[in-house]
Structure 1
Amino acid sequence: MNWPRSIILAFVLFAGLVITMVVISMKHEVNLVAHNYYEEELAYQDQIDRIQNFNDLADKPTIIRRGEEIIVTFPIHLASEIQSGEIHFFRPSDNSIDKKIELKLDQAYSQSFPTNGLGKGLWKTKLRWKSNDKEYFSEQRFVL
């Protein structure tokens, strides 16, 4: 084989590699952290205020994993003043299995959530509630 043919063969192989990588990358699904990412980013000061409100609490709600369930427990004085709230089970690697559940506390000011519907791996619990016209936010990680 002579030099001109070798150079042409190298360019053809390189072009084939580039085209293959472009096709593979076009077929790869990209999961964003949130579908409305830009709107959430613009309103991030509100999120900072929610986190600060949570940090200012003397008694904070707890999120624990016990066996096959996750339990959210509120202190009595906070639970009696909740106007609305939700917990978001967020899977960073696959947003299609995320779950949002409305807070409905029982007489013990807690609520349990089964983990059998959640896949194995890293999860984040995003607890958000409104009390006395103030909003609060807490985030905690756990691994199943």
Structure 2
Amino acid sequence: MDWGKGITLSLIVFGVIIISMVTICVKQDDLHLVTQNYYEEEIKYQDQIDKMVNAGQLDHEVLIYNNQSKIVDLHLPVGAKGTLHLFRPSDARLDQKITFEITDPAVNSVDVKSLKPGYWRVKLTWVENGVGYYKEEKINI
């Protein structure tokens, strides 16, 4: 084989490899953005910062995860209402949002035994007496 055929064959092999890699990348369906409305949520981030500051000024812990019993306890007063977002960074299809309103202080826990084992972020957003709060915990189930 002479130089011309070797160079031509190398270019053809290179082209086939590039085309196959592009095809593999395009066919992947398990790629997920952290959020679908990334830019809109980025603009609202100052409100989020204010809610985190409000939660940091509380004198008690509002979100406690018990690793033994796999339960997330919410220590919120009666009248608080909001959303508990169970966020799985590696797979958005597993995310869950639970809307709540505390009417009985004895019933304020969420069982997370049914969730897939691994790394989760528990995001708690609530309103109490007209003031917004936000607390986030990282847990391993």
What TM-score do the two structures reach when normalised by structure 1? 0.87
Indicate the residue corresponding to 2:117 in structure 1.
120
2-side partners of 1:96 and 1:89: how far apart? 11
> Can you give the 5+ residue segments of structure 2 that lack an aligned partner in the other structure?
none
Q: Give the superposition deviation at 1:80.
A: 2.9
1-side partners of 2:114 and 2:60: how far apart? 30
| Counterpart amino acid of residue 17 in structure 2 | L
Please say if residues 54 and 60 of structure 1, whose CA atoms lie closer than 8 Å, have aligned partners that are also in contact: no
- Using a 3 Å threshold, how does the CA distance of structure 1 residues 109 and 138 change in structure 2: closer, same or farther? farther
Indicate the residue corresponding to 1:21 in structure 2.
21
Please say if residues 63 and 137 of structure 2, whose CA atoms lie closer than 8 Å, have aligned partners that are also in contact: no
Indicate the residue corresponding to 1:45 in structure 2.
46
Query: SS where residue 60 of structure 1 aligns?
Result: coil
When the two structures are aligned, how many residues end up with a matched partner? 140
1:28-39 correspondence runs (5 A):
28-29=28-29, 30-39=31-40
2-side partners of 1:124 and 1:64: how far apart? 11
2-side partners of 1:21 and 1:124: how far apart? 33
Please say if residues 89 and 125 of structure 1, whose CA atoms lie closer than 8 Å, have aligned partners that are also in contact: yes
| Counterpart amino acid of residue 78 in structure 2 | S
Indicate the residue corresponding to 1:55 in structure 2.
56
1-side partners of 2:44 and 2:106: how far apart? 30
1-side partners of 2:110 and 2:116: how far apart? 14
| Counterpart amino acid of residue 42 in structure 2 | E
> Can you give the 5+ residue segments of structure 1 that lack an aligned partner in the other structure?
none
Query: SS where residue 19 of structure 1 aligns?
Result: helix
Aligned-residue CA RMSD in angstroms? Answer: 1.8
> What do the CA deviations read for 1:37-72 (whole angstroms, capped 9, x no partner)?
111011111111111111111223132124343232
Indicate the residue corresponding to 2:108 in structure 1.
111
2-side partners of 1:81 and 1:113: how far apart? 18
> What do the CA deviations read for 1:107-135 (whole angstroms, capped 9, x no partner)?
44552222232101111100110012111
| Counterpart amino acid of residue 58 in structure 1 | D
What TM-score do the two structures reach when normalised by structure 2? 0.89
Asked if 1:89 is matched to 2:86, the reply is: yes
Indicate the residue corresponding to 2:73 in structure 1.
72
Paired-residue identity, %: 35
2-side partners of 1:66 and 1:112: how far apart? 13
| Counterpart amino acid of residue 49 in structure 1 | D
